[in-house]
């Protein structure tokens, strides 16, 4: 049965924390929100490092890839602050993971070879999470605009979306689009501007508690924290909880937007 109070061809009425909020657009983080970057990086790191780290056990490989993606020394943050280039932060991360688990230091020649293998292999493994297509279908059916706001450069993320089969995500803001990264409010506001929606009526969904959920909320959007079970995701403080809506899967969003009575069925 269609309920005219909970469906809308120009947006969704969202009940969030007991209050009804009209949502006209949804913005997403990309890495580990739309695209399973963690799995792609794990497979790629194993491939690129295989010749440099002979004899590692399965347990050691898990530790190796975990250290690379978790980035405990914060090299990715140093890229975001402009201290390291994108490739430099990647090489610092692999150097640290390699030294910690294999015990040897990768020299410049090895790093060059490693990086070439990494860059060639990573795009092969870019895939969207299983719950993405169904959600985008539901948003389109409801006339809710969507797009992406990411802490990487726009051209690189456009290629990533294309490789992952997400060409239909047209609105895209990268760190170079507005010359600042999340959680700066400007980057979220540019996303809303591209969608043509008011920030207060725009939902932002991301896996990083600090820059995505709390950052978008502080910028005046409706921040939602995506905490996928078993996914480490982008480095962030993991000993806290979000003081706002938290979901374990994108499948939960249509219900939050009041779209479940408009023909959408969670898979
Ligand atoms: Mg992310």
Q: pTM of this prediction?
A: 0.84
24 and 139 within one domain: yes
Residues 133 and 22 in one domain: yes
Quick one: how far is CA 126 from the chain centroid? Answer: 12
Query: Residue 53 Cα, ligand 1 centroid: separation in angstroms?
Result: 28
Using the mean position of ligand 1's atoms as its centre, give its distance from the Cα of residue 95 in Å.
23
pLDDT band at residue 18 under the 50/70/90 scheme: low
Q: What is the pLDDT of residue 3?
A: 36
Residue 1 lies in a domain: no
On the question of pLDDT at 8 being above 50, the answer is no
Tell me if 4 is assigned to some domain: no
Looking at the fold, whether 183 and 52 belong to one and the same domain comes out as no
Question: 30 and 48 in one domain?
Answer: no
Distance 260 CA to ligand 1 centre (A): 26
Q: How far is CA 22 from CA 39, 222, 224, 259, 262, in A?
A: 35, 10, 15, 12, 16
Give the whole-number percent of the chain exceeding pLDDT 70.
Answer: 87
Give the chain's end-to-end CA distance (angstroms, integer): 19
The answer on pLDDT for 263 being more than 60 is no
- Does 136 lie in the same domain as 92? no
Beta pairing class for 25-28 and 202-206:
parallel
Cα 55 to middle of ligand 1, angstroms: 32
265 occurs within a structural domain? no
Query: Residue 237's pLDDT band (boundaries 50, 70, 90)?
Result: low
Residue ending a domain, among 125, 143, 166, is 125
Determine the distance separating the centroid of ligand 1 and the alpha carbon of 74, expressed in angstroms.
15
Rounded distance from Cα 15 to ligand 1 centre (Å): 25
Please state, rounded to an integer, the average pLDDT across all residues of the chain. 90
Q: State which of 90, 125, 160 marks the end of a domain.
A: 125
Query: Which range of residues forms the domain containing residue 49?
Result: 37-125
Strand 25-28 relative to strand 145-149, pairing? parallel
Distance CA 3, CA 249 (A): 25
Between these two residues, 249 and 263, which has the higher pLDDT value? 249
- Total domains present in the chain: 2
- Measured CA to CA, the distance from residue 140 to residue 122 in angstroms comes to 30
Instruction: Give the DSSP letter of residue 31.
Output: B
CATH number of the CATH domain containing 188: 3.40.50.1000
- Centre of ligand 1 from the C-alpha of residue 133, in Å: 18
Residues 181 and 220 in one domain: yes
Q: Which CATH number does the domain housing residue 107 bear?
A: 1.10.150
Residue 72: DSSP 8-state: T
Alpha-carbon dihedral angle through residues 139, 136, 219, 233, given to the nearest 10 degrees: 150
Can you tell me which residue has the tokens 């990647």?
A: 90
Residue 6 has pLDDT above 60, yes or no: no
Residue 117 lies in a domain: yes
Check pLDDT > 80 for residue 244.
Answer: yes
Given a cut of 60, whether residue 264 has pLDDT beyond it is no
Contact 190, 178 (CB under 8 A): yes
Instruction: Look at residues 125, 158, 184 and tell me which one is the last residue of a structural domain.
Output: 125
Query: Ligand 1 is a single-atom ion; what residues have CB below 5 A from it?
Result: 29, 31-32, 207, 234
Residue 260 has what pLDDT? 82
pLDDT range class, residue 1, cuts 50, 70, 90: very low
Closest CA to 34 of 265, 228, 180, 236: 228
């Amino acid at each position: 049965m269609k309920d005219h109070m909970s469906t809308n061809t120009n947006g969704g009425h969202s009940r969030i924390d007991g209050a009804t909020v009209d949502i006209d657009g949804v913005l997403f983080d990309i890495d580990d929100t739309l695209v399973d970057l963690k799995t792609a990086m794990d497979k790629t790191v194993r491939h690129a490092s295989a010749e440099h780290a002979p004899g590692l056990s399965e347990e050691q490989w898990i530790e190796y890839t975990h250290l690379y993606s978790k980035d405990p020394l914060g090299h990715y943050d140093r890229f975001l602050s402009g201290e390291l280039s994108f490739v430099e932060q990647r090489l610092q991360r692999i150097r640290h993971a390699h030294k910690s688990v294999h015990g040897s230091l990768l020299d410049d020649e090895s790093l060059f070879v490693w990086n070439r293998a990494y860059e060639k292999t990573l795009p092969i493994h870019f895939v969207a999470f299983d719950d993405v297509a169904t959600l985008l279908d539901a948003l389109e059916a409801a006339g809710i605009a969507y797009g992406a706001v990411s802490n990487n450069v726009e051209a690189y993320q456009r290629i990533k979306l294309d490789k992952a089969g997400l060409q239909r995500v047209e609105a895209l803001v990268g760190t170079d689009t507005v010359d600042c990264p999340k959680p700066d409010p400007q980057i979220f506001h540019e996303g809303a501007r591209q969608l043509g929606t008011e920030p207060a009526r725009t939902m932002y969904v991301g896996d990083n508690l600090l820059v995505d959920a709390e950052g978008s909320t502080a910028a005046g959007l409706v921040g939602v924290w995506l905490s996928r079970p078993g996914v480490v995701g982008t480095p962030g403080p993991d000993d806290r909880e979000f003081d706002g809506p938290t979901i374990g899967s994108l499948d939960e969003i249509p219900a939050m937007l009041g779209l479940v009575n408009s023909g959408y069925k969670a898979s």
